[in-house]
Chain A
Amino acid sequence: MNAQPYLDARRRSDAAHREVLRRTLQEREPLVIVASPPGAGKTYLVESVIAVAVHHLGLRVAVVAPRAEQTYDLMRRLVVNFDPMPITALMSAHRQLPDDLLQTQRILVCNDATALPGVAGVTIATADKLLFAVTKITQSFDLLICDEAYQLTFATLAPLFELAPSALLVGDPGQLPPLITVDTERFETARYRIHWPAPRELLRRFPQLDVVRLPASRRLPQDTVNLVQPAFYRKLPFSSAAAPAERRLQLDAATQGDTIDRALDMLADGATLVGVLLPPAEFGLEQVDDELAETMAAIAARLLARQPRWEGVRQLSAGDIGAIDAHVASGAAVRRSLRLYNVPTDACVVETPELWQGQERPLMVVKHTLSGQRQIGAFGLEPGRWCVMLSRHQLGCVIVGRDGVGDVLAEHRHDCGARPIGSVDAAWEGWRAHQAIWSQLEAQGRLLRIAQG
Chain B
Amino acid sequence: MSTIFDLAARLLAYQAGRAIPTRRSSALMADPIPAFAIAPIRMVAEQVVYALAYGDPDDKPEIVLTWNPLDRDAGFLEPFAAALDRYLSDCVTAGEMPRVWLAHTAALEVIELLGHRYRTNRSVGPELQRMGAQCRLLAEETTFAGQQIVAVAGSLLAGHVATGQSPSEDLHLGALLAWIDPPAGTAVVDAAAQAALAPAAAMLARAADDRVEQLRARVASGRLREPAARVEAEAIIRAELLREWNLLVQARRAFWTLGLTQGPELTKLSAESFKRVAWQIDRNYGSPARPRSLAQRLDELTYAQELAAYADVADDPIVRATALSAGRVLDATIINRDQPRRGFQPCTLTLETCQQVLRVRAGTQLQLRGARVVGRITEVRELNAGQSVQLTLVITTGVRNPHLPAPGQRTDWMEPEPADLRYQKRQVYERMAASADTRVMGDTLPLARPQPADDDLATIARRLRR
Contacts and interface: CB of A to CB of B under 8 A. Distances in A.
A and B: direct contact (Cβ < 8 Å)?
A: yes
Interface of A: 14, 17-18, 21-22, 25-31, 48-49, 51-52, 55-57, 68, 80-83, 94, 131-132, 134-135, 154-155, 158-159, 161-162, 165-167, 180-184, 186-187, 190-192, 194-195, 202, 205-206, 209, 284-286, 328-329, 332, 335-336, 339-340, 345
15 contacts: A18-B457, A21-B457, A25-B457, A56-B457, A56-B460, A56-B464, A80-B466, A81-B465, A161-B437, A161-B440, A187-B294, A191-B289, A192-B441, A194-B298, A329-B327
A153 B442 CA distance: 18
B432 interface: yes
Contacts of B302: 180-182
B208 to A, nearest CB: 29
B261 interface: no
B435 interface: yes
A83 B466 CA distance: 7
Contact of B432 (A81, A159, A285): A159
Interface string B439-466: 1110111111111010111101100111
Contact of A94 (B396, B425, B446, B451): B396
A405 B167 CA distance: 28
A350 to B, nearest CB: 12
Contact of A28 (B287, B386, B448, B455): B448
A92 B382 CA distance: 29
B451 A26 contact: yes
A155 B457 contact: no
B283 interface: no
Contacts of A29: 448
Contacts of A332: 356-358
Nearest to B144: A182
A415 B4 CA distance: 23
Contacts of A187: 294, 298
Of A28, A80, A159, A186, most B-chain CB atoms within 10 Å: A159
A166 B443 CA distance: 17
Of B357, B427, B451, B461, most A-chain CB atoms within 10 Å: B461
Of B298, B327, B450, B464, most A-chain CB atoms within 10 Å: B464
A128 to B, nearest CB: 9
Of A26, A167, A335, A336, most B-chain CB atoms within 10 Å: A26
A48 B461 contact: yes
Nearest to A131: B428
Contacts of B143: 183, 186
A21 B458 contact: yes
Interface string B337-371: 00000000000000000001111000100000000
Contacts of B298: 155, 180, 182, 184, 187, 194-195
A155 B287 contact: no
Contacts of B425: 131-132
Contact of A30 (B295, B305, B439): B439
B291 interface: yes
B465 A209 contact: no
A137 B448 CA distance: 24
A155 B425 CA distance: 11
User: Which 10 pairs show the lowest CB-CB distances between chains A and B?
Assistant: A162-B435, A48-B461, A21-B457, A155-B295, A159-B432, A18-B458, A182-B301, A285-B3, A29-B448, A28-B449
B450 A165 contact: no
Contacts, number: 168
Contacts of A25: 451, 453, 457
Contact of B457 (A26, A94, A195, A206): A26
B294 A335 contact: no
B464 A82 contact: yes
B432 A26 contact: no
Given A158-B432, A158-B439, A187-B294, 16 more contacts: A18-B458, A29-B448, A30-B447, A30-B448, A31-B445, A52-B460, A57-B451, A81-B465, A155-B294, A155-B298, A158-B437, A162-B432, A182-B145, A192-B294, A328-B326, A336-B386
Nearest to A329: B357
Interface of B: 2-4, 143, 145, 287-291, 294-295, 298-299, 301-302, 305-306, 326-327, 356-359, 363, 376, 382, 385-386, 396, 421, 424-425, 427-429, 431-432, 435, 437, 439-441, 443-451, 453, 455-458, 460-461, 464-466
Given A135-B428, A192-B294, A194-B295, A284 B464 contact: no
A181 B415 CA distance: 15
A19 to B, nearest CB: 9
A368 B444 CA distance: 44
A135 B425 CA distance: 10
B312 to A, nearest CB: 14
Contacts of A285: 3-4
B356 A52 contact: no
Given A56-B455, A190-B294, A329-B327, A28 B439 contact: no
Nearest to B359: A328
Nearest to B302: A182
B386 to A, nearest CB: 5
B466 A162 contact: no
A158 B439 CA distance: 8
B2 A158 contact: no
B428 to A, nearest CB: 5
A206 B440 CA distance: 11
Contacts of B465: 51, 81-82
Nearest to A337: B386
B457 A345 contact: no
B58 to A, nearest CB: 33
Nearest to A330: B357
Nearest to B454: A26
Given A181-B305, A339-B382, A134 B294 contact: no
Given A18-B458, A191-B289, A159 B429 contact: yes
A222 B305 CA distance: 44
A113 B448 CA distance: 28
A55 B466 CA distance: 13
A77 to B, nearest CB: 10
Given A21-B461, A30-B439, A30-B446, A192 B290 contact: yes
Nearest to B327: A328
A21 B459 CA distance: 10
A192 B439 CA distance: 12
A134 B288 CA distance: 23
Contacts of B429: 159
Contacts of B290: 191-192
Contacts of A131: 425, 428
Contacts of B453: 25-26, 57
B295 to A, nearest CB: 4
Nearest to B355: A332
B445 A135 contact: no
Contacts of B464: 51-52, 55-56, 82-83
Given A27-B450, A30-B446, A284 B4 contact: yes
B383 to A, nearest CB: 11
B433 to A, nearest CB: 9
Nearest to B291: A192
A12 to B, nearest CB: 13
Contacts of A159: 428-429, 431-432, 440
Nearest to A15: B458
Contacts of A48: 458, 461
A86 to B, nearest CB: 15
A205 B445 CA distance: 10
Contacts of B449: 28, 165-166
Nearest to A95: B363
A52 B305 contact: no
B357 A328 contact: yes
B466 A82 contact: yes
A332 B359 CA distance: 10
Given A94-B396, A132-B424, A284-B4, A162 B288 contact: no
A340 B382 CA distance: 13
A161 B457 contact: no
B70 to A, nearest CB: 27
